[in-house]
Amino acid sequence: MLAGPLAEAGSAQSQPSPDQARQRREEIRKQQSQIAADLQPLAATDEELNKALEATNNQVRTQQAKVNDAQRAADEAQRNADRLAADQARLQTEVDQLKAKVRDRAVSAYMNPQGKVDQEALLLQTSDLTEAERKKEFVATVTGTNDDAVDKLRAVRQSLEQTRSDSENAAADARTRRSRLDTELATMKESQAQQAKVKAMVDSRIQSYKREAAELRAEDASMQQIIEEAQRRYQQQLEEAARQRAAQAAAQQAAAQQAGAQRAPSGAPAPAPAPPSGGGSAAANGSFHWPLVPTMISQEFGGANGHPGMDMVASLGTPVAASNGGVVISAGWNNGGYGNLVLIDHGGGIVTAYAHLSAISVAAGTFLNGGTIIGAVGSTGNSTGPHLHFEVRVNGAVQNPRNYLS
């Protein structure tokens, strides 16, 4: 949307005329309004993306913590299973050894009916006190009944096998949970990456709009400078015209006085032409007149869409009058949507605009009085029906016309 006008402005070989500058300024301000309208939803989208991305980041961090906890649980369960497997292996060895001793004890009991067992000799064969105590207890058990010892050993072994099985199951469950959490984490990270990508695209578009807005502001300032220079020249022309009229009146008065001194006056001298009302000086608030009478307002100044002027409904061809005296600084077609447009400088930085005209009856540089017909109501440019779009600007800034109309 902006590439064409900006490129054209940048490649211009000569400074535009005041009329071209005004048209370009209106186009720039329409583009600035469009950029502002486009940026608003983008800014809201960017804020929503920031919130969504932060929420996803928190979810990823929480999920990562769960994965780490599951991994620690799986590692601990595996260590327990390995330890119990080692205990089972050691116990199996002891069981085998004790079974051998039970068999030996049975043989010894058969060979030694008196039932004497050298417990001290067994103790001397052990490598640590725990094993010694276990063997001593075993000997005591064997002395009573061999079957009880075997049953007890079998029960211990079964308990150990069950514990080891439970530990292995716990480790398997922990690994399954870790795998499921890993899958969920991968999905979250993918969503996180997509959100970051979309946010980067939105941020890029926002920055692009801001760069374009900055370029338009610079061009708008340039156009405004051209307009102000033109207004300054027109103001000088107004003042020069006023001085010429004053000099002409003084000369006529002097001539009349000289002629009166030579002969009796035959009549009063013709009065000097008066300057246009309001010309050359800023008109005070309330001193401007309605350009259409009677007036029916279809749209006021401002509002939700920031309407820069006031729309007055009238039938096609209804005469439009200058709201106050001044000089016409532009009269012709406007490419910014105003259609046929007349701009009148009233001095003091005050300019009135009359848009969508069906016909224009004044030319740029024309000095006129308030109430002079400048054109007719039309529907040219961006218009949905016959009406007059009327604006009041002070130093380029739009004002509410009601503050100036009486």
> Using one digit for the tens of pLDDT, what is the confidence trace for 212-265?
778 777 767 766 776 777 777 767 777 787 788 788 888 888 888 887 776 644
| CA R_g for the chain | 51
pLDDT over 70 (residue 128): no
**Separation between Cα atoms, residue 289 and residue 7, nearest integer Å:** 41
| Euclidean distance between the first and the last CA atom of the chain, given in angstroms as a whole number | 41
Count other C-beta atoms under 10 Å from residue 354's C-beta. Answer: 28
- Alpha-carbon distance of 96 to 90, in angstroms, equals 10
The pTM score is: 0.38
pLDDT at 119: 55
Which residues, 6+ apart, have CB-to-CB distance to 225 below 8 Å? none
Residue where the block lists tokens 């399954």: 176
In terms of pLDDT, which residue wins out, 338 or 82? 338
Tokens matching residue 173: 């469950």
Summarize the confidence of residues 265-292 as an average pLDDT. 54
278 or 167: which leads in pLDDT: 167
pLDDT of residue 254: 83
Token pair in block for residue 264: 């009796």
Q: What is the DSSP letter of 276?
A: P
Q: What is the rounded average pLDDT of the residues 56-67? A: 84
- Please state, in angstroms and rounded to a whole number, the distance separating the CA atoms of residues 327 and 276: 9
Domains of the chain: 17-256 (1.10.287.2610), 296-403 (2.70.70.10)
Q: What is the pLDDT of residue 336?
A: 78
Q: How far apart are CA 162 and CA 191, in angstroms?
A: 44
